[in-house]
Amino acid sequence: MDKERKAISRLKISVIRVIRGQKKERRKMNKEDKIYIAGHNGLVGSAILNNLKAKGYSNFLLRSSKELDLTNQKATEEFFEKEKPEYVFLAAAHVGGIVANNVYRADFIFNNLQIQNNVIGSAYKYGVKKLLFLGSTCIYPALCPQPMKEDYLLTSTLEYTNEPYAIAKIAGLKMCESFNIQYGTNFIAVMPTNLYGPNDNFDLEKSHVLPALIRKAHLGKALINKDWECIRKDLNTYPVEGVDGNSSKDDILDKLEKYGITQTNNVVSIEIWGSGKPLREFLWSEEMADACVFVMERVDFQDLKPKNGEDIKNLHINIGTGKEISIKDLAFLIAKKVGFNGDIVFNADKPDGTMRKLTDPSKLHALGWHHSIEIDEGIERMYDWYISK
């Protein structure tokens, strides 16, 4: 019996050593490992790709949405089976601002669920070592205590205007969590705050508030200066509902007015949805990317699990600054940086959305990462990038 006990004990020790060795190996992402960035052309994915390149990674699997439709389960599985990525950044998503979220509700929940199901399911099926799922802080309740801690998830009802998108992101977060619990995968979910930066979406209907305000201020400034060359150049880069730089002045003015850029009796104004009172937190996209790579390189799901036997839940990580600004102050700050000196009109008949969405990034801080670019500097960088395009 003693010999059997000793043999069992030696076996247990060997198993523990193997598991620990696997964990150590799993934690390390080598420069030559195959890395798939889903959504590498977007605001989030392009920033992650650039960050990885700067750190010396070079073995990337990149597919545009035209080359690989992630809403197609068969195509997604075939890609994973053939390419066998070792690390996955799931940054692909159907995204937009308050207008798009409220109007295209079915698209936001259906498309995002399909993308997540296909990528996360394929990552498990084909043995991905580690996956990072990018969600959004809209997952938290509309009347969430501030700042928002990870533990506040699912404690109350969501904000109505972006409820479908939020539900999809919660499902993705819980899918990662559930696969980890049941199958021992290493899938981590991060929830970035409002992002802005290079390759942002400047579509006047579907963009988020900060890039939309930058473009409105830019076009408003051009109207004040009667700089039609600037306006036509802008519309050639980003046409609005078929209206581009080759359209007539009347057609251009009509389309701009539809999206709140109005010229009346030589007075130019830009309209902003809501009262301007909501507070928002903004993070420069390149810093978000740095936080994501930091987590992928240094944090495993095992590191996030509670040590006291509590339920395994809410192990996602907020990525934010912990600082906020009102939409009104943001609008005037952007106007100042861009050089727009016309009128700014707040349409209180339109929805405000959630009144406050401030993250608590203390979990990320405890892991060792902090932001450094503040909103003033970020807006200057953003506008410089925009006019360079």
Between CA 202 and CA 2 the distance in angstroms is 73
Q: Which residues have CB under 8 Å from 310's CB, separation 6+? A: none
Calpha distance 203→215 (Å, rounded):
9
Whole-angstrom distance, CA of residue 106 vs CA of residue 86: 32
Catalytic residues: 165
Those residues whose C-beta lies under 8 Å from the C-beta of residue 29, and which sit 6 or more positions away, are 35, 57, 87, 130, 296, 297
Q: Which is it for the CA torsion 324, 214, 290, 91, positive or negative? A: positive
Q: How many other C-beta atoms can be found within 10 angstroms of the C-beta atom of residue 364?
A: 23
H/E stretch holding 312 reads none
Cα 268 from Cα 344, distance rounded (Å): 9
Residues 6+ apart with CB under 8 A from 297: 28, 29
